[in-house]
Amino acid sequence: MTSLPTERPGVAAERRGPRRRPGRPRAEGHDERILDAAVTLMERGEEITVSRVVDLSGVSRAAIYRRWPSMTHLLAAALDRGREPYVIPLDGDLLENLLAAFTPAEQAAGRSYPEERFRLRVRLAMTDRKLAQAYWRSHVARRRGALVAVLRAGIERGELRPDLDVDACIDLVNGVFYYQYVVRGVRLDDPAAVARCREAVRVAWRGMTVTPD
C-alpha cells in the first residue's frame, strides 16, 4: 500500500495554501516534472516521499514545497493528473445534455482520465481521510461547476424546483456513477452500467422537476 508523510516539519496543517516566495518566479516545467514523478511512484505502488520525488524529478526539495505545502497536497494533485474540467451545454434539453456528458465518448466527462488512476484515487481516499479532503478542496469542488450551472439553468427556466438543494442533487447524480464503478466494480465504459446510470439519473431528475398543480 502506498504510504506517505502528510507534512514536513514546520508546515501547518491542510488549511494552509501553497507557499511561494514573493518575487521569485517558478522555473519552467517544474510543476509537470514533480507531478509526473509523483504519478510514476504512485502507479508503481511505491512509497511516495519527498526524497523519491526529488530523485525522480530532478527538482529540489525547496521547489517542491514552494508549490505544495505537504505531500498530501502533492499526492492529491498527482491523482488529478490528466483530468480536466468539463462543460455541459445549457441550451436545448438539459437532461439529455447532462446524460451525454457522462456517456462514454471521446469528449465525455473524465474520458481522458485513466481508469486505473480513478480506482487508485478511490482506494487511497478510502484509507486516508486527509488526502480525500485535500483532493475535494483542491480539485473536485471546482469541477462541480458544470453540474451547478445545469441545475441553476433548470431552476431559472422553471423546469426544476426552486427549492432544490443543489449540492445534494449533485451528490445524488455523481453517486449513481460511483456506485456502479466502486461497489459493482464494472468498467467505466460497460454498456449495461452506463444504461443503469442513465436510467437512475432520469429518475433523480424527475424528482427535481416542478410538479404541476
* pLDDT of the residue at 105: 54
**CATH of region 30-79:** 1.10.10
Domain boundaries of the chain, sorted by first residue: 30-79, 94-208
Residue 198 reports pLDDT greater than 90: yes
pLDDT digits (tens, 9 = 90+) for 9-38: 444 433 344 444 444 455 568 899 999 999
Q: Is the pTM higher than 0.75?
A: no
Which of 53-57, 101-105, 114-118, 128-132 has the highest average model confidence (pLDDT)? 53-57
pLDDT band for position 127 (cuts 50, 70, 90): confident
- Candidate CATH numbers 3.40.50.2300, 2.40.50.140, 1.20.1580.10, 1.10.357.10; the one for domain 94-208: 1.10.357.10
Provide DSSP, 140-188: IHHHTHHHHHHHHHHHHHTSB-TT--HHHHHHHHHHHHHIIIIII---T
63: cell is 521547489
